[in-house]
Structure 1
Amino acid sequence: MPPSNAFRWFPLALTAALLTGCTVVESSPGSTAPAPESGEVGQAADLLSDLTVAAPRSMKGYSRDRFPHWRSAGKNCDVRDTVLERDGDKVKLSGCNVVAGTWTSVYDGDVLTSPTKVDIDHMVPLANAWRSGADRWTDDERGDFANDLDRPQLLAVSASSNRSKGDQDPSTWKPAEKSSWCTYAQDWIEVKSFWKLSVTEKEKDSLDEMLGTC
Structure 2
Amino acid sequence: MKRCLLVGNGMKNPPQFLRDLAKSVDFVVGIDAGAETLLESGVKVDLAIGDFDSLKNKELLKRINHLEYPKEKDYSDTEIAVTHALSLGYDEIILTNMLGGRTDHLLFNLSILYRIFKEGKSGKFLENKEEIYIFDKSIEIKTDINDIVSIFPLLGKILFKDSKGLYYPLKGKSVELGETLTLSNYALSNSIYVEIENGVAILILKRIRPKYS
Q: Same fold (TM over 0.5)?
A: no
RCO higher in 1 or 2 (8 Å CA, sep ≥ 6)?
A: 1
Task: Kindly indicate which of the two structures has a greater share of residues assigned to strand.
Answer: 2
Task: Specify which structure has the higher proportion of helix.
Answer: 1
TM-score, normalised to structure 2, is: 0.26
